[in-house]
Amino acid sequence: MRHIYANRAAYLLAALLVVATALFAWLRSEGGTLVALDDDAPEVTEFDEVNGWAWRETGEQVFVADCQGCHVRLTHTPELFTAEGGRSYLIELVLFGFDGEMVIDGSARQVDHPAFAGHDDEQLAAVLNHVLVSWNNADELPEDPDLYLPDYIDEARDRELGPEEVAERRPSL
């Protein structure tokens, strides 16, 4: 009864594949989770309020809900933020998305980043700030960084760029 054995073999194989994948995920995430645990602990920083606006909690919520699926940590953001034109570019990136090439650590990648124009101004400003201060990014910010405020997002909405245009506006690092 080869067929009976074959049925069992198929289930066994399926189970084996799932277990192997879980092992892969564990190996690939263990470091990540440990790092993330340290880093996720909210660092109490001097930046917690911008002009009296407390953004921390919103920023973290939005990041967990909408960014974490793809980004575990973003460590290039302060560099972009301080580059020429980078400050508005980051707003445009989250508002209008990005479709084009990005050079990261010297290698070019084709990137397709979703647009989050549907979020409100507070959420977007807060999440950008969250990225700017998390994972020790805050150390790389200038003395008085002028973090994002909801108004800045509001202003940028009028630009109505396409994701390809955003790609062209990315400062080169």
Those residues with Cβ within 8 angstroms of residue 164's Cβ, 6 or more apart along the chain or in another chain: 99, 100
Query: Nearer to another protein by C-beta: 87 or 129?
Result: 129
Distance (Å, whole) CA 116 – CA 125 = 12
Query: Nearer to another protein by C-beta: 112 or 155?
Result: 112
Distance (Å, whole) CA 125 – CA 171 = 20
Instruction: List, as one string, the DSSP characters of 23-51.
Output: HHHHHHHHHHHHHHHHHHSPP--TTSEET
Query: Nearer to another protein by C-beta: 16 or 54?
Result: 16
Query: Nearer to another protein by C-beta: 52 or 106?
Result: 106
For residue 117, the minimal CB distance to another protein (Å) is: 12
For residue 110, the minimal CB distance to another protein (Å) is: 6
Note the residues at the interface with another protein (CB under 8 A): 1-4, 6-7, 9-10, 13-14, 16-18, 20-22, 24-33, 35-36, 64-70, 72-73, 97, 99, 107, 109-114
How remote is the C-alpha of 82 from its chain's centroid? 18
Question: CA dihedral in degrees (35, 41, 46, 51; nearest 10)?
Answer: 110
Tokens in use for 16? 């084996």
For residue 157, the minimal CB distance to another protein (Å) is: 19
For residue 52, the minimal CB distance to another protein (Å) is: 28
